[in-house]
Amino acid sequence: MALFGALFLALLAGAHAELPGCKIRVTAKALELVKQEGLRFLEQELETITIPDLRGKEGSFYYNISEVKVTKLQLRPSELHFQPEQELMLQITNASLGLHFRRQLFYWFFYDGGYINASAEGVSIRTGLQLSQDPTGRMKVSNVSCQASVSRMHVAFGGTFKKVYDFLSTFIISGLRFLLNQQICPVLYHSGMVLLNSLLDTVPVRSSVDDLVGIDYSLLKDPVVSNDNLDMEFRGAFFPLAEGNWSFLNRAVEPQLQEEERMVYVAFSEFFFDSAMESYFRAGAFRLSLEKLPKDLDVLLRATYFGSIVFLTPAEIDSPLKLELRATAPPHCTIKPTGTTISVTASVTISLVPPSLPEIQLSSMIMEVRLSAKMALRGKALRAQLELRRFRIYSNQSALESLALIPLQAPLKTLLQIGVMPLLNERTWRGVQIPLPEGISFTREVVTNHSGFLTVGADLHFAKGLREVIEKNGPANTRDAQASSAPPPSTAAA
């Protein structure tokens, strides 16, 4: 019975699991570009290593090594790869770095000092970033693992006391290696837990699109890492800003990502677009009044409804016409391999608008419109170009009245194409941002339609360096704040 109970609970949990409206896959092809930018950032971070002064005494000789600075980093060869269990692994082998420091030697009444260069070779670093979902639905670096070691160092002492320094070099080099080993991992931990997380903070999670609606890109679960890909599932749902807690039930087909040829793939289900149109509908955006009609349409409408107009007063007869469009239900998106269409049903009301008098309704009819939508990804915004494909008006009162509306089909369709479609395309082409960090955008985009969802394959482009973005958005004075929570230094042998 316990087995059947567990099975029932598992099925119940699966039945209530929220489906994603948007998925993103980062493939192994993106790692080389990410590695290049990441190593550039890591080199800049390692140059900030602060190594404590090294003091010692051997016989009658006292030495002091201070003002140690890291220079000339060479972090290649290196490898960046995915590792299952939510980790992104960076392995650097046989790297090298230069050191510049001040030396001081005391022997009775004799003193020697100056600056000298040293080199650390055979530097090995293995660090892993564990990625997870935080309570707000944002992707975070939740842990940083690190192993680091320096296999050998070389210091070329010179001057009057060269032989003395050569005698002391064993102690000095061992001490510098030990101190350097102790400092590498704390720097990497700070870079991941603080600086990279400040970069991930620039990814929009729940933000406004315009004055009417917002979008929710909360992660639904922890990112899934395989040997070849990093997969993320987002809620991908719009919402009216006036109803921040409103949610739209996702009954659409779950998008699937199978491709691996490009650096990144983004999938959007029909739910993604339907939630946008539902939100705009609830916000009252799908209504439009046209009070300056083309002359030929004005004449045609007055002739069509002459029987109703003739009994009005002269002031009412000469008053301007108004045409009002109002969606009667949220538009619906249908995605097929052949293309994307949007179906709209709206009421069309024709009225006279006498000055300082109530409006006089002449007619009300139903309009059915089908639009084709061509999707494109530009930069980091998903955009759409709409085109009118089908237009039909009819009366919901009688078939006879529907026949009388046939002469209005062509002029109203022309009005829709000239007066309404440009307004829609101006808004849809502005697009909506997809969840990417600041400074990263897409190039060479290819859109592919499937049954119930569409995918966009693209390559990544760093429009800004990681350092530039982090310095702009990162928290100030974080090193001291993180000192108490930093992990212990690398335990690799010095």
| Mean of pLDDT values over 310-326 | 82
Same domain for 356 and 441, yes or no, is: yes
Q: What residue has token string 């020697």?
A: 112
- How many domains does the chain contain in total? 2
* Structure confidence by residue, pLDDT tens digits, 392-416: 988 877 776 677 677 788 888 888 8
Same domain for 149 and 269, yes or no, is: no
- Most confident by average pLDDT, 22-31, 83-92, 105-114, 315-324: 22-31
Q: Say if residue 10's pLDDT is above 50.
A: no
- Determine the pLDDT at residue 14: 44
- Determine the pLDDT at residue 50: 79
Which residues are registered as beta bridge partners of 125?
92, 148
Same domain for 244 and 393, yes or no, is: yes
* Structure confidence by residue, pLDDT tens digits, 444-494: 899 999 999 999 999 988 888 888 888 887 665 444 444 444 555 554 433
- Determine the pLDDT at residue 316: 78
Same domain for 395 and 270, yes or no, is: yes
Q: Which two tokens stand for residue 24?
A: 């993103």
**Residues 6 or more apart whose Cβ sits within 8 Å of residue 26:** 229, 230, 263, 264
- Determine the pLDDT at residue 2: 45
Q: Say if residue 270's pLDDT is above 50.
A: yes
- Determine the pLDDT at residue 491: 45
The CATH number of whichever domain residue 344 belongs to comes to 3.15.20.10
* Structure confidence by residue, pLDDT tens digits, 139-175: 999 999 988 888 887 776 665 556 665 656 666 677 7
Q: Say if residue 303's pLDDT is above 60.
A: yes
Same domain for 256 and 188, yes or no, is: no
Domain membership flag for residue 292:
yes
Q: Say if residue 228's pLDDT is above 60.
A: yes
- Among 299, 372, 364, residue whose Cα is nearest residue 339: 372
Residue 379 per-residue DSSP state: B
| Terminal C-alpha separation, the chain | 58
Same domain for 172 and 259, yes or no, is: no
Same domain for 286 and 418, yes or no, is: yes
The residue that leads in pLDDT, 63 or 419, is 419
Same domain for 73 and 196, yes or no, is: yes
Same domain for 306 and 422, yes or no, is: yes
Consecutive H or E run containing 466: helix 466-473
Domain membership flag for residue 76:
yes
Helix residue ranges, H only, 258-381: 270-282, 295-304, 306-309, 314-317
Confidence band (pLDDT; 50, 70, 90) for 234? very high
For residue 20, is the peptide bond before it cis, meaning its omega torsion is within 30 degrees of 0? no
Alpha-carbon distance of 380 to 461, in angstroms, equals 10
**Residues 6 or more apart whose Cβ sits within 8 Å of residue 433:** 204, 207, 380, 381
Same domain for 255 and 174, yes or no, is: no
Domain membership flag for residue 216:
no
Same domain for 61 and 171, yes or no, is: yes
Alpha-carbon distance of 14 to 25, in angstroms, equals 22
For the chain, the average pLDDT equals: 82
Alpha-carbon distance of 213 to 175, in angstroms, equals 60
- Determine the pLDDT at residue 480: 45
Q: What residue has token string 């719009």?
A: 238
Alpha-carbon distance of 84 to 81, in angstroms, equals 10
| Mean of pLDDT values over 352-367 | 84
- Determine the pLDDT at residue 279: 93
Same domain for 195 and 243, yes or no, is: no
| Mean of pLDDT values over 33-50 | 85
- Determine the pLDDT at residue 297: 81
List the domain range (segments joined by +) for residue 457. 236-462
Q: Say if residue 431's pLDDT is above 80.
A: yes
Alpha-carbon distance of 269 to 196, in angstroms, equals 30
- Determine the pLDDT at residue 484: 40
